[in-house]
Structure 1
Amino acid sequence: MSAIPVMIGMPRPRASDAEGAASDLPGDPLVDTYGRVHRDLRISLTDRCSLRCTYCMPEQGNEWLARSSILTLDEIVRIASVAAASGVTTFRLTGGEPLLRADIVEVVRRLSRIPGPDGRPVELAMTTNGIRLPELLPGLVEAGLRRLNISIDTLRRDRFHVLTRRDRLDDVLAGIAAAAASGLRPLKLNAVAMRGVNDDELTDLAQFALDHDAELRFIEQMPLDAGHTWDRARMVTRDEILDALAQRWMLTPVPERGGAPAERWMIDGGPRTVGVIASVTAPFCGDCDRLRLTADGQLRNCLFSTTEYDLLPLLRGQAGDAEIDGMLRSCVRGKLPGHAINDPGFLQPARGMNAIGG
């Protein structure tokens, strides 16, 4: 008999759902069979990116999504409106690199006007490499963008070039400076911790974030590279990250994490903080409230899912909103208790991170 993977915070199935009782109606909350209420939709706008990070995608030979399959603005808004009517309160725009989408400001404008379940507009956030922020940020803020996460894995030019295969560090730093000056808060910087790559920069990255009135969020490297070359031995763990930071600062846990992916610690008593997303060594699956929409219209209930729910035939056929809502609910009901990265039988998703959405 194969072992059942034990996940930290693994949810237990509800009795009614275990018996097959699924009576959700349009407008009801999106609740899975383990009682998790889904309030966050990650919307990927493109699989293309201006960088080629080694842990995400190969430098050459990428098979891009067919342009005809990429969701139009109207299709994105329609899906988001249906999701908001059933309790989704946050949209996060991802990619690839979302700022490469030509209509990005209008995407933000349209989505930011969608009313949430309480009648107030949903909260709109974005994860970006920051390269186009200096030119686009004023328009994005005016259109309704409220929060930003910017990826920065190293502060050294030589390492940045090797890691991303592009000499764009100055552009990323300019984007971070623009975000820091914009007043968008909280501002978060994301860094994937990698052994032998940037593990000697952890405190420098955290201090850089503090200097820009931002929170650094370290991310354990996950098996999401398109080349399937992930090696657990090269991953810097949550405990190793915290040990490195504790050499410089006193860290105090921030309580009431809720469904947030990052554990957070106050630095030297606060109010400044640092976070760690430990998807591998300390999974937070039991409180996950996220769904994902790929740029080509596939719904995913987990970053590591091997199953997708295709919305394109509904969007481009004669389906009504109730059918789209039904697909959302099918996706939610199909969600497993956890991603099982630590199980010997774990299978890495066929898509790379750039095609799934961050």
Structure 2
Amino acid sequence: MTAVDLGLPLPSLIPASRAPAPVDGPLRDTFGRVATDLRVSVTDRCNLRCTYCMPADGLDWLPTDGVLNTEEFVRVLTVAVRDLGIRTIRFTGGEPLLRRDLEEIITRVSRLPERPGIAMTTNGLGLGRRVHGLTAAGLTRVNVSLDTVDPARFAEITRRDRLADVLDGLAAARAAGLDPVKVNAVVPDRSDLDGLAALFGFCLREGYQLRVIEQMPLDADHRWDRTAMVTAAEILEALRHVADLTPDDVPRAGAPAQTWLVDGHTDAAGRRARVGVIASVTRPFCGDCDRTRLTADGALRNCLFAENETSLLPVLRGGEGDVDAAIARLWRENTWAKRAGHSVNSGDFRQPERPMSAIGG
């Protein structure tokens, strides 16, 4: 079955050029898109075991010497900002708070002459203890993954009884002045739609911005089922049972979430509350994508669902020639090879070998 059979949108991009990759300038692809947003996975390890992400026993983690160290991360990120036009960096995992040197990495990136916006996506465990050090280092925004506020269901999904720690982390982030504080939620099963209403109500009361994400085929077990996935339409219907929503007039640009204003509610800063839905599967936004990705072991990926990636380790650890120039060249070539869009809704789709925990959210 193809995307056309499913009645889903297809990217309508036409290659702007078939010439070789540029040798200078920002990160461009053949469709004219420019990557300015970098997602950096600083570790593939995680201290939760969410059922839709990884097995109960976890995964075979990358060896320590196979992961970029502090100096390597800083060098690559410096090239990205200084030479390639990256303007925003989001640190992810796995769970980024498992990196003890995260504050140092953020501090050094925030001191670059053309300082990028710096954000982080975390499961919230340990956030309460480290949030002040992270904000002092230069972190300005945070997304906390939270699928439910029901303790029993949280323990069932994550295989850990840690809901209280996540809620403490959210409150600490708000108290530390991070703005906005966003909550990322996945709806694992249609039975969770009632719980989504409770989560939405919690976010409205606490002043957090909820983002609900369609479950994507990036699970380690490769059990994702397109027909069983809770769709954006179902998610939006559940949200509208809680509050009236008005389409947001703020330009979406390359942002993954389509957002709505929540009538009668304000956020922690006193602005009109917003809620977003990220419909990566049923409403692809590939045509406006402005992202590039760096994995914990130094691989460049131009899409979450990319079938190929480019390793920077031989350049970083080879010690020959102009390393920074080589990094920039490889990154431009990787971006130039970006496809028009993912093929999740087509019959020839192949799930990436790496799960989300190893690619980075």
* Fold match (TM-score > 0.5): yes
- Quote the offset at 1:114 in angstroms: 2.1
1:32 corresponds, among 21, 29, 33, to 29
CA distance in 2, matches of 1:127, 1:62: 20
Deviations 1:320-344 (A, max 9, x none): 2111000110110111011110001
1:58 corresponds, among 51, 55, 59, to 55
Local SS of the residue matching 2:227: helix
**Aligned AA for 2:14?**
P
**Aligned AA for 1:335?**
K
Alignment of 1:345 with 2:348, yes or no, is yes
Listed as ranges, the gaps of 5+ residues in structure 2 are 266-271
Does structure 2 retain, via aligned residues, the 8 Å contact 1:112–1:143? yes
- Once the two structures are superposed, the pairs formed by residues 1-358 of structure 1 within 5 Å of their partners are 8=9, 10-15=11-16, 17-18=17-18, 20-25=19-24, 28-60=25-57, 62-84=59-81, 85-116=83-114, 121-255=115-249, 256-268=251-263, 271-317=272-318, 318-320=320-322, 321-358=324-361
CA distance in 2, matches of 1:69, 1:233: 37
Does structure 2 retain, via aligned residues, the 8 Å contact 1:8–1:286? no
- Quote the offset at 1:208 in angstroms: 1.2
- Quote the offset at 1:199 in angstroms: 1.5
Does structure 2 retain, via aligned residues, the 8 Å contact 1:11–1:35? no
Does structure 1 retain, via aligned residues, the 8 Å contact 2:119–2:141? yes
- Quote the offset at 1:113 in angstroms: 1.5
Local SS of the residue matching 2:333: helix
- Quote the offset at 1:248 in angstroms: 2.6
- Quote the offset at 1:13 in angstroms: 3.1
- How many residue pairs are counted as aligned between the two chains? 349
Q: Which moved more, 1:277-286 or 1:82-91?
A: 82-91
Local SS of the residue matching 2:193: coil
Local SS of the residue matching 1:176: helix
Does structure 1 retain, via aligned residues, the 8 Å contact 2:3–2:10? no
CA distance in 2, matches of 1:101, 1:227: 25
CA distance in 1, matches of 2:76, 2:245: 41
**Aligned AA for 1:87?**
G
Q: Which moved more, 1:265-274 or 1:301-310?
A: 265-274
CA distance in 2, matches of 1:12, 1:59: 41
Listed as ranges, the gaps of 5+ residues in structure 1 are none
CA distance in 2, matches of 1:3, 1:91: 32
Local SS of the residue matching 2:38: strand
Judging changes above 3 Å, is the alpha-carbon distance between structure 1 residues 237 and 316 closer, same or farther for their aligned structure 2 residues?
A: same
Does structure 2 retain, via aligned residues, the 8 Å contact 1:9–1:284? no
**Aligned AA for 1:138?**
H
Question: Which residue is equivalent to 2:269?
Answer: none
**Aligned AA for 2:343?**
A
Query: Under a length normalisation based on structure 2, what TM-score does the superposition of the two structures give?
Result: 0.93
CA distance in 2, matches of 1:24, 1:12: 23
Judging changes above 3 Å, is the alpha-carbon distance between structure 1 residues 325 and 172 closer, same or farther for their aligned structure 2 residues?
A: same
CA distance in 2, matches of 1:182, 1:46: 25
Instruction: Give the fraction of aligned pairs with identical amino acids, expressed as a percent.
Output: 52
**Aligned AA for 2:334?**
C
**Aligned AA for 2:32?**
G
CA distance in 1, matches of 2:244, 2:4: 37
**Aligned AA for 1:331?**
N
CA distance in 1, matches of 2:222, 2:164: 30
- Quote the offset at 1:11 in angstroms: 5.0
- Quote the offset at 1:4 in angstroms: 8.4
CA distance in 2, matches of 1:284, 1:147: 23
Does structure 1 retain, via aligned residues, the 8 Å contact 2:78–2:112? yes
Judging changes above 3 Å, is the alpha-carbon distance between structure 1 residues 96 and 329 closer, same or farther for their aligned structure 2 residues?
A: same
- Quote the offset at 1:194 in angstroms: 2.3
Local SS of the residue matching 2:76: helix
Judging changes above 3 Å, is the alpha-carbon distance between structure 1 residues 333 and 80 closer, same or farther for their aligned structure 2 residues?
A: same
Judging changes above 3 Å, is the alpha-carbon distance between structure 1 residues 11 and 41 closer, same or farther for their aligned structure 2 residues?
A: farther
Does structure 2 retain, via aligned residues, the 8 Å contact 1:47–1:97? yes
Query: Under a length normalisation based on structure 1, what TM-score does the superposition of the two structures give?
Result: 0.93
Deviations 1:305-356 (A, max 9, x none): 1111010000011242111000110110111011110001100000111111
Judging changes above 3 Å, is the alpha-carbon distance between structure 1 residues 182 and 49 closer, same or farther for their aligned structure 2 residues?
A: same
